[in-house]
Chains A and B, each alone.
Chain A
Amino acid sequence: MLGLTQKDFLLLLVVVVLTLLAPIILNPFPVNSSLGQSFNAGYPALMQRFAIFGILVIGFNILFGLTGYLSFGHAAFLGVGSYAAVWMFKLLSFNIIPAIVLSVIVAGLFSIVIGYVSLRRSGIYFSILTLAFAQMSYALAYSVLTPLTNGETGLQVYPSDPQYLAAEGAPSAPHVFGLPMAESTTVYFGDWQFTFEIGYYLCALMLILAFYLSIRIFRSPFGMMLRAIKSNQTRMNYTGLNTKPYMLWAFIISGMYAGLAGGLLAAMDPLTGAERMYWTASGEIVVMAILGGVGTLIGPVVGSGVIKYLENIVSKINDNVLHGAFNALPDGLENVIIKIIHPFVGEGWQLTLGLLFMVVVIFLPGGLVQGGQRLGALFSRRSRNATAADRDAARQKPAE
């Protein structure tokens, strides 16, 4: 189906169903219960972030997962895409289609330049080159390029902007041909409340397209070539093959994915700032990819989802929520448990993230996806010998 093998098609189907039903799946608790207020993740602003960062990390994975080149400056493309989209809002209209198209193109051009230079080196030097370029973009966006980027204030749309193509009566917020992104319908189902928003479904559609494209790239001869480069670039060169164009294409595709994500971020909220390009933002992308599982198809989506969930949900948990959750225990025990958990939630969510990340890097080089595969192998009904063989195979060739 759609040029995919049956297994890949099933995977795509799972992703499609999960993204389309996310507003329902992510709202497992009644809206007014204390559990619902702390753990429900099915509100549009967060789901959009799941989808957008999913796209971003899928793109990053095409570069890092397939070729093994670790780019530490990927946030620069995201930032450039966002700036391009907001400029389109300022000049043309709030219609997001030209904005997203331009953000992908601009990010693509930008990645041609950076990729052409950075790919002359490999290994840690490549990481540091991309890092240096990203930091330069960040510093320039803050200082000299202020006419283009509006410096520290951040680029946003003002009523005085020309908007040459804006139609009469069009909404004064990002929209798709008149349908505002923020428009939503809310469905009540007993105590449960589900919100379906146009903006989210646009992002979901993009995520599905991005995911489909990444499957096709993974299974194509081009993807095979990238994997060959990862396993032994020198040997590829000795066989008389010029690996440079393949690497550059991988870099550009990955940059365009980031540009798309940046354009979508701007479409959700039409303002952007240079901090999106800071190197810790690039680090976050790397963390997401590793956490989910580098080189796997579904890993990037899992990784970005887990981190955005931690960021938005765990950071909301405070002592009151904990007292509510452990109410059933005796007081002394309750206080001890809360004291132990306290540093890891609320403001300390990054501590949880850092620890989780370290555990994954140390014990599960294939990320959470590999963890899931191992668990699956543990519980599968196959004979123990087969499972052991499976595990050996996974160890040699972690996840995929």
Chain B
Amino acid sequence: MDAIILQILNGLDKGSAYALIALGLTLIFGTLGVVNFAHGALFMIGAFCAVTMQRLLTLSHTVIDPSQTDFLGNPLQTKVPYLASVFGTEGAQALITWSVPLSIILVIPVMLFVGWAMERGLIKHFYKRPHADQILVTFGLAIVLQEIIRAIYGANPIQSPAPPMFSGSIDIGEYLGFQANAIVYPIWRLVYFAFSAVIIAAVFAFLQFTTFGMVVRAGMADRETVGMLGIDIDKRFTLMFGLAAAVAGLAGAMYAPIVSPNYHMGMDFLVLSFVVVVVGGMGSLPGAVFAGFLLGILQGFASMNEVKAVLPGIDQIVIYLVAIIILLTRPRGLMGRAGVMED
């Protein structure tokens, strides 16, 4: 039983990353009808926003202390972050350790801008061209973004730790009445799950309960009619692209303590999140979220030793296997509407 709960937790935490990326992909596909292969790159840029925040906070100037000397006999030089002059030394240290959560305030404007620029600058010109062309141009863009990041930050993964308060593990088993040390889980992963749940809820609430969201939903259902009612639907869809980019960026930034950001992490996530979108159903937002968590949990169970003893190697391929079965038996996906992209 404890092993099962552990795998469910594993699945929820992987699944929340899949679900966030897939949610953004589906938003873009549902509104603009574009298959965005650069979405993994947006996830990666988000992670590097966390790195940038860390660097911004640790920007420091050198102070020379003539009263002390280092081992060579020169006056001692210490680096003091600029922040220290505002918040004091300890305050600055505390802020620096919180750089990953703080990066959220950097991610949102940056990603909204990146998404807006991408849509207006490039993707706008591809609406009338076949899906294959959209895949290809966004694939090219993903390569370019990835290489730009590599040119700036180098090829090595960059450590970006979680705040000390969340960096350890906790023993969940004890709260649930199991033996001590039965279910020990890293706290940050639980935080990540909670965070993604909040983001997903926020996106759905935004679409469901605001006038803006209502117009967007109407546009997803019938773009032409909404346009005829005198609403500039293109402008709103552009904003939705920015929102989708921001969701991917947030997913990436908060993922930084789990996997140290490197320039190819986007490509690694891209294929899986595409599979998630297809399993959930192209254009179905609840489908994307549901399939994300479902596939995450399935992957968790498949990597249990008991399962692997029966079906060796199943943990590596279970996601693709599910995708193939779904595509062959129910091409519109688990929760896709009938008639949408069903060929």
Task: For B311, give the chain A residue with the smallest CB separation.
Answer: A144
Does B110 touch A at the CB level, under 8 Å? no
Q: Which of A70, A142, A143, A362 lies in contact with B132, CB distance below 8 A?
A: A70
Q: What string of 1s and 0s marks CB contacts (under 8 Å) between A260-302 and chain B?
A: 0000000000000000000110010011001000000000000
- Structural contact, A136 and B320, CB atoms closer than 8 A: yes
Provide the B303-325 mask, 1 if CB < 8 A to any CB of A, else 0: 00000000011001100110110
- Grouping DSSP codes into helix (H, G, I), strand (E, B) and loop, the B interface class, with mixed when no group exceeds half, is helix
Interface contact A133-B324, CB-CB below 8 Å? yes
Q: How far is the CB of A150 from chain B (nearest CB, A)?
A: 15
Q: Interface segment, B57-65, B141-149, B184-192, B197-205?
A: B141-149
- Among B133, B324, B341, residue most surrounded by chain A Cβ atoms (within 10 Å): B324
List which B238-280 residues lie within 8 A (CB) of chain A.
267, 271, 274-275, 278
A365 contacts which chain B residues (CB < 8 A)? Answer: 129, 133
**Which residues of B lie under 8 Å from residue A343 when comparing CB positions?**
151
Query: Is B135 part of the binding interface, using a Cβ–Cβ cutoff of 8 Å?
Result: yes
Cα A358 to Cα B147 with chains together (Å):
14
Which DSSP category, helix, strand, loop or mixed, fits chain A's interface? helix
Q: Chain B contacts of A120 at CB under 8 A? A: 328
- CB atoms of A355 and B324 under 8 A apart: no
Are A68 and B144 touching (Cβ within 8 A)? no
Quick check: is A123 within 8 A (CB to CB) of the other chain?
yes
**Contact of A129 with B327 at beta-carbon distance under 8 Å, contacts A144-B312, A343-B151 already known:** yes
Are B328 and A354 in contact, with the CB atoms below 8 A? no
**A66 vs B140: C-alpha distance in the bound complex, in angstroms?**
23
- A70 x B137 contact (CB < 8 A): no
A139 touches B147 (CB 8 A): no
B117: min CB distance to chain A, Å: 14
The number of residues on chain A lying at the interface, defined by a beta carbon within 8 Å of a beta carbon of chain B, is 42
C-alpha spacing A52/B51, complex, angstroms: 41
Residues in A with CB closer than 8 Å to B129 are 365
A143/B313 in contact, CB under 8 A: yes
Q: Are A128 and B132 in contact (CB under 8 A)?
A: no
Report the bound CA distance from A135 to B275 in whole Å.
Answer: 11
Q: How many whole Å from B48's CB to the nearest CB in chain A? A: 16
Q: Which of B58-89 contact A (CB under 8 A)?
A: none
Interfacial chain A residues near B316, Cβ < 8 Å: 136, 139-140, 142-144
Residues of A participating in the B interface, judged by any CB pair closer than 8 Å: 68, 70, 117, 120-125, 127-129, 131-133, 135-136, 139-140, 142-145, 279-280, 283, 286-287, 290, 343, 347-348, 350-351, 353-355, 357-358, 361-362, 365
Give 15 A-B pairs besides A136-B316, A350-B147 with Cβ atoms closer than 8 angstroms.
Answer: A70-B135, A121-B328, A124-B135, A127-B132, A131-B271, A133-B324, A135-B271, A135-B320, A139-B316, A144-B312, A145-B313, A350-B143, A354-B141, A354-B146, A357-B136
The 4 closest A-B pairs by CB, nearest first: A144-B313, A354-B143, A139-B316, A351-B147
Q: Which B residues fall within an 8 A CB radius of A?
A: 35, 122, 125, 129, 131-133, 135-137, 139-141, 143-144, 146-148, 150-151, 155, 267, 271, 274-275, 278, 312-313, 316-317, 320-321, 323-324, 327-328, 331, 341, 343
